[in-house]
Amino acid sequence: MYRKFVVLAAAIVLSAPLGISHAQVPSSRPPDNTGVNTRDRSDFAVTADKQSNNKDDMDLAARVRRAIVKDDSLSSMAHNIKIVSNHGQVTLRGPVKSDQEKMQIGQAAQAIAGANSVDNQLEIVGQEAKGDTR
């Protein structure tokens, strides 16, 4: 019994990370959202505060969100985009990893809201990084 415990404890210790956390990895440049923040101050920018409290609009945004989150082929970045629905018009905003994700999300939203009711403003920030498990 004692031997099994020692073997199990050793396996746990050996499988632990080597003390390098993600936060300790130096980045090539500091994060900078200045451009996005400036753009979103525009009176015409569709941001979360433009989401209608109308029951139909809230239901529409929720149905689009469910369809996107349900799609396991999308990255976690894509699962976290902003979806704003106002007067039946759906606006998609935020970063995605590829043109394929942008297109896939747009098609899913159009299937729910209608082909002429989706404004796809998703931004492609780069292809999948090696080792990214979504």
Instruction: Give the separation between CA 71 and CA 78, rounded to whole angstroms.
Output: 10
Instruction: Give the separation between CA 54 and CA 57, rounded to whole angstroms.
Output: 5
pTM (two decimals): 0.63
| CATH no., domain 46-128 | 3.30.1340.30
* Share of residues in the chain with pLDDT > 90 (%): 51
Using CB atoms within 10 A of its CB, is residue 78 exposed (0-12), middle (13-18) or buried (19+)? Answer: buried
Domain boundaries, the chain: 46-128
Q: At what angle do helices 55-70 and 99-113 cross, to 10 degrees?
A: 140
| pLDDT at 38 (0 to 100) | 53
Instruction: Give the separation between CA 36 and CA 85, rounded to whole angstroms.
Output: 20
- In which residue are the tokens 């099994």 written? 4
Q: How confident is the model at residue 53 (pLDDT cuts 50, 70, 90)?
A: confident
